[in-house]
Amino acid sequence: SDPKPLAGRKAIVTSGPTHEPIDPVRYIANRSSGKQGHAIAAALARLGADVTLVSGPVTIPDPLGVRVVRVERAEEMRDAVVAALPADVAVMVAAVADWRVASAAGNKIKKRPGEAPPPLSLAENPDILKTIGHHASRPKLVIGFAAETENVAENGRAKLERKGADYIVANDVSPKTGIMGGDRNRVKLIARDGTQEWPEMGKDAVADKLAALIAAKLVR
Ligand code: C5P
């Protein structure tokens, strides 16, 4: 069989958190490390895919053999993903901030003695997975992740429908699992026709298994 089943195929992967500025020196962020998204980009590249990895700010190294587009904010991530279309597969792994600061200050907000704390008013960020799942140039395969702390399978299935995805990889990120920021993962693969539970394995192994599934679905 072909050792590079994804040769000639284009993939877009998002990874990491987004940083949403409050002012030039402060931001809202989350605990995503980028480990799972980067591992998926690397795994797809090993199968021969032409991979664009759109990454929020992370401290881990760039994966080998992929084109990396670095962004900070959700809106920048959306623009970079849309600019990378068309593609055969999109895997949206980034922990995109749900909200941004409605109007980030152009200058550092000063703390002045005796003044009340400044209010933070938030605006909803674009949903990148949903944008891609319903896009006129929708990739043949659109895969999302769902970090949940409860009702993992139920919430994942609802997400599949709402976002126009073919698969949702759902994981339980309750603090007790150690998944967020850790090296291991335990996921449920949710498809229209059913749910598979994968055993706990390293994030690299999850990436390889998902890349193999993508190859099987795209190459027939
Ligand atoms: O709705 P929720 O954030 O739980 O959905 C998670 C999935 O949606 C992930 O695949 C994530 O990358 C994607 N997402 C996105 N843009 C957002 C929010 C989530 O692409 N603004």
Sequence-ordered list of residues with C-beta below 8 angstroms from that of 45, at least 6 positions apart, any chain: 51, 63, 64, 65, 66
- Region 157-177: what's the mean pLDDT? 90
- The arrangement of secondary structure in 10-104+120-218, i.e. its CATH architecture, is 3-Layer(aba) Sandwich (3.40)
HSE value, Cβ hemisphere, 13 Å, CA-based, for 219: 19
What is the token pair recorded at 23? 């002012």
Is residue 120 very low, low, confident or very high in pLDDT (cuts 50, 70, 90)?
Answer: very high
* Complex ipTM value: 0.96
With tokens 């998204």, the residue in question is 37
Q: Which residues does residue 87 pair with via DSSP β-bridges, in sequence order?
A: none
The sheet carrying 89-92 orders its strands as 67-70, 50-55, 10-15, 89-92, 141-148, 167-172, 187-191, 194-197
Looking at residue 178, its pLDDT comes to: 78
Residue list, ligand 1 pocket, CB within 6 Å: 14, 74, 92-94, 96, 125-129, 144-146, 159
Nearest to 190 by CA among 173, 167, 206: 167
pTM here? 0.95
Identify which of 76, 154, 163 to mutate to test ligand 1's pocket (most ligand atoms within 8 A of the CB): 163
Q: Pick the catalytic residue: 30, 125, 151, 155?
A: 30
> Cis peptide leading into 86, omega within 30 of 0?
yes
Identify which of 28, 92, 161 to mutate to test ligand 1's pocket (most ligand atoms within 8 A of the CB): 92
Inter-CA distances, 30 with 16, 92, 173, Å: 9, 16, 13
Asked if the model's pLDDT at residue 3 lies above 90, the reply is: no
Please say if 185 is a catalytic residue: no
With tokens 């940083």, the residue in question is 19
Q: What are phi and psi of 16, to 5 degrees?
A: 85, -175
Q: Specify the pairing of strand 26-28 against strand 20-23.
A: antiparallel
**Alpha-helix residue ranges (DSSP H) falling in 85-196:** 128-133, 152-163
Please return the burial class of 158, using the count of CB atoms within 10 Å of its CB with bins 0-12, 13-18 and 19+. middle
Cα four-point dihedral sign 151, 157, 161, 163: positive
Inter-CA distances, 141 with 9, 100, 117, 164, Å: 12, 28, 46, 10
What is the token pair recorded at 60? 């881990």
171-216 pLDDT tens trace: 877 778 777 778 888 899 999 888 999 999 999 999 999 999 999 9
Amino acid at the residue 168: I
80-111 pLDDT tens trace: 999 999 999 999 999 999 999 999 999 999 99
What is the token pair recorded at 71? 């962004």
Residues that constitute the known binding site for CTP: 98, 108, 126-129, 145, 159, 163
